Structure 1
Amino acid sequence: MLVMGSMIGSGIFIVSADMMRNMGSGYWMIVVWIITGIMTVAAAISYGELSALFPKAGGQYTYLTEIFGKKMGFLYGWGLFTVIQTGTIAAVAMAFGKFTAYLVPSLNDAAPIFQSGEFMITWIQMLAIAIILLLTYINTRGVESGKLLQNVFTGSKILALLGLIAAGFIFVDFSHLAENFSFGNDAFNNINKDVQGSFLQSGWESIDGMTLMGGIAAAMVGSVFSSVAWESVTFVSGEIENPKKNVVKAMILGTSAVMILYIAVNFVYLNAIDRDSIAFAANDRVAVAASQNIFGNAGTVIIAILVMVSTFGCNNGLILAGSRVFQTMAKDGLFFKSAIKNNKNDVPSNALWMQGIWASVLCLSGQYGNLLDMISFVIVLFYMITVFGVIYLRFKQPNLERPYKTWLYPVTPIIYLVIGTVFCGLLLIYKQQYIWPGFLIVLLGLPVYYIINRNKNTDL
């Protein structure tokens, strides 16, 4: 439930619009989701070996530290705290607020609480902050409180998604599936490249292999970002029964189930509405457009409630898990010392509140959305370094007792590394704007690391 709940937020209801603008065909959109699914499950299978080797709180931070040293671990943890985890929490909370505004229009209509030029503080932002603080408080009450909330909300949204998938094929009067799977001259011939936001020129006849690959890479930014956070379960390994066995199972089963759900939901979009309606859905809310065609006027309300349930449960998982990384960093002398302490409920309450407060600041800044769009490169890069760590450890310490060994090693980690390398390489060629912000955030961690360690006798 933690794996699935952390993965399924608001992305699956939105990102397919940009993917269709980039690809121009339902066929290629599904191909991109399948590539992302293979990539994600391959990473989870590879992480399983590391989670069994290092079954303690901290997850990916711990793996990187153990394999490559404290500096690499800190750079990952730094990125996680500054924007990856906290920025995702902020974005998901804002999605909750925006879809709540569908049900409570006065939230949209209300005047800003504060405005100075383009900067403003709205009631939707305040609702997002309230949700973050509420979930943070619930998680300070003990791991059982967070677990119960996670199970209830994740179970609810999985059932709701299954209902949406069934309804998307049963209640649609006219199927657009065959039309959307075409990829000939009718693939957005009359839409110019800039408006379309894709690499397509004037129809599929004019597309060469590299142009198609560039389009796939751009489309994958959305699908990859919708498929991250599954590693959150490794952050809480220290609080899971038999982590050497159960964390592996959770990652592999959870990621596989979510990717199947994602592909099925995209088939619903392709079945329910035409290509233009997907690509140019209002505010990219593809799920709303599809649901209106399936359920009529009630569709907007249905999707609004589904997204609210989804984002609430997603944020609970992110908040529960992320704080454990910062506590582990503090124990290593790389984060605020007060984050080490557990409260009377045996949870890291100080780390929880630090995470919650910074995520709330990001909500007020209004910049988290832009940053999140631009850190997919760095997220995949850290995944690649961690997956490479599986191979590196096999050579460096071949005699380590491995309670779980990566299935089909070395094929599985190599699959991830190849797809990840192609993805990052194509972004370097075609979409540099997705690269430099993430790199900048990580590089800013270097001087912070040296400041922290300047008075320590430590191996840098």
Structure 2
Amino acid sequence: MAENQKLEAKYGLFTAISMVVGQVIGSGIFFKVDDVLLSTQGNILAGLIGFVVVGISVVFGAISMANYAELLPKDGGILNYVNYRFGENAGYFVGWMYLSLFYPVLTAVLFTVSGIYIAHLCAEFMHFEPTSLHFLLIGFVNLLIFFVFNIFRPRSSGIFQQLTTVLKVLPLILIASMGILSLVKGDVEEQNTFAYAARNVAENQTLLMLIAASFIPISFAFDGWYIATQISGEIKNSRKNLPKALIIGTLAVMVIYISYYMGIVFGMSGDEIIRLKDTYITEFSRKIFADSGALIMQLFIIVSVLGTSNGLLLAMIRVPYQFAGLPKAKQFLKLNVVDTKTKMPVNSAFLGLGLVIFYLLAYYFTSTEKFFTEQNFDLSAIRSYSFTW
């Protein structure tokens, strides 16, 4: 093992872009349109403008982050940016938060979510009632598989990230294309058009207030793009490629989200989406492709969650290594050591794995114990960044 050795630059521009796009587009967008329309009281025009405004804001945020990525292309990502901009103390405290809470909780929640979707899919064919224990065990197995994958085949993990990003984008593009094609053909019902929404704002409402109300659920759907900075030191020609990835990735997400939203609202009324809640995407798929469409959509959502989980784990196992590189950090457990065979910070990875397992168990315990459920305690509330739901 080699101490203070830099991680090998092994990821290209496309992997970096897939990290940006893949960490934003989890399963969240599939279940956010109903939340957006609920906040706008069913006004689809307010939701559209909300997506445009938030999307542009995120792109400008990425442009700002890209300046730091160009200035500080080394390992550490945001930890180095905070250290540079706000000082060593700020970088140290943010590093502790990332190491002990933010990344391990998010990773644990995402792998549990993967267990939820897989268990429910299996239950349709095996006829059993999924429980929290099923979710935990399936999530734990997924975690171990992806951990081994990331340690011994880090390049393959990058390829998997690219593949899942492409797969999760495909249904969004398909839905967007079908909705926009319906508009071009004139098959969209009048109450599903933006012109109708503009004319039918209730007397006690204003379009501006409805737009503002949409910002919160839309912002959650856009979060996660900055996680790509955690592999900044492993991106080839990081000074140029990471800024490109941040800007191209967020622009792509904005266009995909807006197009997907239009595709949905052109095919279903706002009132119907609100009534169906999170099941709207299943019913939309069933309406187009019958029952097989609902099943295919479930598979796409599982792939989407697994891709996002892999991206989070990819970042998580590097956070202790990056934290150890901060000026104020104390050296312990040899977290800054890179294994000469795998070219990975193995000690850092195992500490990250241990923390994720701890929060997996904590999430299961707090989700099943009466004391916590009666208090509406939700450990996963930290995932408000959440591409997850």
Q: Same fold (TM over 0.5)?
A: yes
Q: Closer, same or farther in 2 for the Cα pair 1:361/1:170, shift >3 Å?
A: farther
CA distance in 2, matches of 1:69, 1:208: 44
> Alpha-carbon deviations, 1:175-220, whole Å to 9, x = none?
357436344797xxxxxxxxxxxxxxxx7311358xx54x555532
- Structure 1 residue aligned with 2:19: 2
Scaled by the length of structure 2, the TM-score of the pair is 0.80
CA distance in 2, matches of 1:156, 1:20: 26
- Structure 1 residue aligned with 2:192: 179
Q: Closer, same or farther in 2 for the Cα pair 1:17/1:75, shift >3 Å?
A: farther
How many Å apart are 1:261 and its aligned residue? Answer: 0.6
> Alpha-carbon deviations, 1:392-432, whole Å to 9, x = none?
xxxxxxxxxxxxxxxxxxxxxxxxxxxxxxxxxxxxxxxxx
Partner AA of 1:257 in structure 2: A
CA distance in 2, matches of 1:353, 1:176: 55
Runs of 4+ residues over 4 Å off in structure 1: 168-174, 215-218
Unaligned runs of 5+ residues in structure 2 are 1-17, 368-377
Q: Is the 8 A contact 1:110 1:123 kept in 2?
A: no
The answer as to 2:64 corresponding to 1:53 is: no
Per mean C-alpha deviation after superposition, the further-off stretch among 265-274 and 362-371 is: 362-371
Q: Closer, same or farther in 2 for the Cα pair 1:303/1:356, shift >3 Å?
A: farther
- Structure 2 residue aligned with 1:139: 150
- Structure 2 residue aligned with 1:411: none
- Structure 2 residue aligned with 1:352: 349
Question: How many residues are treated as equivalent by the alignment?
Answer: 347
Q: Is the 8 A contact 1:108 1:124 kept in 2?
A: no
Per mean C-alpha deviation after superposition, the further-off stretch among 88-97 and 339-348 is: 88-97
Give the alignment of 1:84-99 within 5 angstroms: 84-99=102-117
- Structure 2 residue aligned with 1:380: none
How many Å apart are 1:152 and its aligned residue? Answer: 1.9
- Structure 1 residue aligned with 2:13: none
> Alpha-carbon deviations, 1:334-386, whole Å to 9, x = none?
5854432223211123323333333343334243332323x78xxxxxxxxxx
Scaled by the length of structure 1, the TM-score of the pair is 0.68
- Structure 1 residue aligned with 2:281: 287
The answer as to 2:214 corresponding to 1:219 is: yes
Give the alignment of 1:296-315 within 5 angstroms: 296-315=290-309
Q: Secondary structure at the match of 1:346?
A: coil
Q: Closer, same or farther in 2 for the Cα pair 1:328/1:156, shift >3 Å?
A: same
How many Å apart are 1:142 and its aligned residue? Answer: 4.0
- Structure 2 residue aligned with 1:448: none
CA distance in 1, matches of 2:284, 2:236: 41
Q: Is the 8 A contact 1:11 1:226 kept in 2?
A: yes
> Alpha-carbon deviations, 1:47-82, whole Å to 9, x = none?
111111111111111100112112222333333334
How many Å apart are 1:315 and its aligned residue? Answer: 1.6
Q: CA RMSD in A?
A: 2.8
CA distance in 1, matches of 2:230, 2:305: 20
- Structure 1 residue aligned with 2:15: none
> Alpha-carbon deviations, 1:257-287, whole Å to 9, x = none?
11111111111210221212322324x2432
- Structure 2 residue aligned with 1:342: 338
> Alpha-carbon deviations, 1:24-56, whole Å to 9, x = none?
211111111111111111011111111111111
Q: Secondary structure at the match of 1:94?
A: helix
- Structure 2 residue aligned with 1:452: none
CA distance in 1, matches of 2:352, 2:330: 15
- Structure 2 residue aligned with 1:419: none
- Structure 1 residue aligned with 2:167: 156
> Alpha-carbon deviations, 1:120-146, whole Å to 9, x = none?
x42022212222222122111143122
Q: Closer, same or farther in 2 for the Cα pair 1:110/1:161, shift >3 Å?
A: same
Give the share of equivalent positions with the same residue, in percent. Answer: 26
CA distance in 2, matches of 1:17, 1:85: 28
- Structure 2 residue aligned with 1:71: 89
Q: Secondary structure at the match of 1:231?
A: helix
